[in-house]
Amino acid sequence: MNVTIIGTGYVGLVSGACFADFGHTVTCVDKDAAKVERLNAGEVPIYEPELDRLLEANRAVGRISFTTDPADAVGKADVVFLAVGTPSRRGGGHADLTYVYEATREVAALVKGYTVICTKSTVPVGTGDEVEAIVRQVAPDADVDVASNPEFLREGAAIGDFKRPDRVIVGAETERAIGVMRELYRPLFLNETPIIFTSRRTAELTKYAANAFLATKITFINEMADLCERVGANVQDVARGMGLDKRIGAKFLNAGPGYGGSCFPKDTLALAATANDYNSPVTIVDSVVEANARRKERMAQIVIEAAGGSVKDKTVAILGLTFKPLTDDMREAPSLTVVPMLQKAGAIVKGYDPEGMDEAAKQLDMHYASGTYEAIKGADVTVILTEWNEFRALDLLRVKAMMRGDVLVDLRNIYSADAAARAGLAYRSIGRTDAP
């Protein structure tokens, strides 16, 4: 099949690479000429494991190409995916659909023959209806169906998630569109991936419901972590004990510094905004949003408390700046709250991240170290903020020897109090009885 993808952001690029790898012929369209040029030269603008290899392999055999000109790509496409950005609109949390509607207008004017136009970006309920209205207005004679096919991939695990998803959700209103989408995902039938065909609005809402639920799960365990500290319990054991109940499930119960990223913060806000518009409030999601914002601030306070009540003129090393490992994405990362708060409290902050330093430098004005131990050198306090693998096997004796002080704040609960104590470190983790 011929697949055209509008937008070469995270979702667009990963979907493009994977559809090409399924055997389809993919054209990725982006307005950013410099980006298209880089992609055509084999450069990958984001860090995502395996993506470069997959793009290169499919580019070499002509199954994926990149262009700024949508005319040819849209004309020959069986399916056109809209994978453009949907940032939060200022104030109110609604998703900004300007780019989606702009792309729709452009695509509608260029389609030839029967084409499915499909949203892949996370878009609020009713966007498919609006896209359809635009298509009918711009090109009343076009033979088009509009579908919704939300994407559930995670950054850092995107290729595996796309190729071996738990499920595929397709919102389509006609048999013909269902047929095209079934054909598109046929390679996944081989591994028996469930594919749910439903209405467009249901598909759109399913995506928000899933993300809001996952954000709720994380926030729930984070609040349990606080409570564990008060009552003298261990959140990791609580999570394990809960998670073994199959109705709950073990995943997404790791207490941490609060969720970040390009999806949970934006999608929870957008869902709450939609719910309010329809006068059907999602009060649990509202509390999750609030609790998560508070949590990121609380993390800075924990560091200050662990440092003996003040970080004034102290050097704090922050290990891990991105919102999670295996990405260079800094969007809504806890570091964006924690670092400025520590600086405001008088700390000299030195940061290190294996992949995210360039992105971080655009947003955080601080000292940057060239490696883990370089960051730790001379620090009074070391904080593990993102659980990159290289922070999981630190030589704690070396850490202690290189630091000026002895405080290790482990906001991802990677180490044990015992191991830290053996190295002579004063250790603070979260939600464990071994936390002070």
Q: Residue 126, by phi and psi: left (phi above 0), alpha (psi -120 to 50) or beta?
A: left
Instruction: Write down the least CB distance from residue 382 to ligand UGA, Å.
Output: 19
Residue 242 or 345 with smaller CB distance to ligand UGA? 242
Residue 9 touching ligand UGA (CB under 6 A): no
Residue 104 touching ligand UGA (CB under 6 A): no
Residue 326 touching ligand UGA (CB under 6 A): no
CB contact at 8 A, 337 and 344:
no
Q: Bridge-partner residues for 82, per DSSP?
A: 6, 119
- Residues 6+ away with beta carbon under 8 Å from 141: none
* Residues that contact ligand UGA, how many (by CB under 6 A): 20
| Annotated binding-site members for NAD(+) | 30, 35, 86, 122, 155, 266, 331
Residue 13 touching ligand UGA (CB under 6 A): no
Instruction: Write down the least CB distance from residue 169 to ligand UGA, Å.
Output: 11
Residue 154 touching ligand UGA (CB under 6 A): yes
Burial class (CB in 10 A: 0-12, 13-18, 19+), 343: middle
Instruction: Write down the least CB distance from residue 152 to ligand UGA, Å.
Output: 4
Residue from 5, 263, 376, 385 in contact with ligand UGA (CB under 6 A): 263
> Tokens in use for 164?
């071996």
Residue 211 touching ligand UGA (CB under 6 A): yes
- Let me know how many helices (H) and strands (E) the chain has, helices first: 18, 14
| Annotated binding-site members | 30, 35, 86, 122, 152-155, 207, 252-256, 260, 266, 324, 331
Active site residue 263: yes
Residue 429 touching ligand UGA (CB under 6 A): no
* Cα–Cα nearest to 81, from 172, 135, 4: 4
Residue 426 identity: A
Among 77-85, 93-101, 251-259, 352-360, which window interacts with ligand UGA (CB under 6 A)? 251-259
Q: Whole-angstrom Cα distance, residue 293 to residue 267?
A: 14
* Cα–Cα nearest to 177, from 138, 124, 131: 131
Residue 83 touching ligand UGA (CB under 6 A): no
Residue from 214, 342, 357, 426 in contact with ligand UGA (CB under 6 A): 214
* Cα–Cα nearest to 225, from 409, 410, 431: 431
Q: How far is CA 225 from CA 184, 229, 408, 415, in A?
A: 44, 6, 18, 16
Residue from 66, 152, 162, 388 in contact with ligand UGA (CB under 6 A): 152
Instruction: Write down the least CB distance from residue 333 to ligand UGA, Å.
Output: 7
Q: What is residue 325's three-state secondary structure?
A: coil
The catalytic position among 18, 118, 228, 263 is 263
Residue 361 identity: A
Length of the chain: 436
Among 88-96, 150-158, 307-315, 344-352, which window interacts with ligand UGA (CB under 6 A)? 150-158
CB contact at 8 A, 181 and 172:
yes
- Look-up of token digits 């999806």: 263
Among 99-107, 146-154, 187-195, 420-428, which window interacts with ligand UGA (CB under 6 A)? 146-154
Q: Whole-angstrom Cα distance, residue 249 to residue 373?
A: 37
Residue 78 touching ligand UGA (CB under 6 A): no
Catalytic residues: 263
Q: Which chain residues interact with ligand UGA by CB under 6 A?
A: 122, 151-155, 211, 214, 218, 252-254, 256, 259-261, 263-264, 323-324
